[in-house]
């Protein structure tokens, strides 16, 4: 981390706070009957987006190489 050109102020606190605030928002949405459709459709949609991204961007396995120790 010391080699980064830009360091985020309050680094460990900012991502944790963002996660907790998003979680609180999702919990709040669950208690509002008019907003529950956002959870019922939003969570599967996000999972589908992650799945498509993973399938499209996965790298093929590296070809097997012969160990140099076994050659000699």
CA angle (25 as vertex; 23, 28 as ends), nearest 5: 110
Terminal Cα-to-Cα distance of the chain (whole angstroms): 41
- Residue pLDDT, tens place only, 56-71: 998 877 776 665 555 5
* Mean of the per-residue pLDDT values of the chain: 85
Evaluate the CA torsion angle 46, 53, 58, 23 in order and state its sign.
Answer: negative
For residue 64 the two structure tokens come to 């097997």
pLDDT average, residue stretch 28-54:
93
Greater pLDDT, 5 or 40: 40
Instruction: Enumerate residues 6+ apart whose C-beta is below 8 A from 69.
Output: none
What was the pLDDT predicted at 67?
59
- pLDDT bin (cut points 50, 70, 90) of residue 7 is confident
């Amino acid at each position: 981390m010391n080699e980064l050109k830009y360091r985020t102020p309050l680094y460990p606190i900012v991502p944790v706070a963002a996660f907790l605030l998003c979680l609180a928002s999702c919990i709040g949405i669950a208690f509002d009957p008019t907003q529950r459709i956002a959870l019922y459709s939003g969570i599967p949609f996000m999972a589908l987006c992650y799945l498509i991204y993973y399938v499209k961007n996965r790298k093929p396995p590296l070809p097997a190489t012969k160990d140099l120790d076994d050659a000699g």
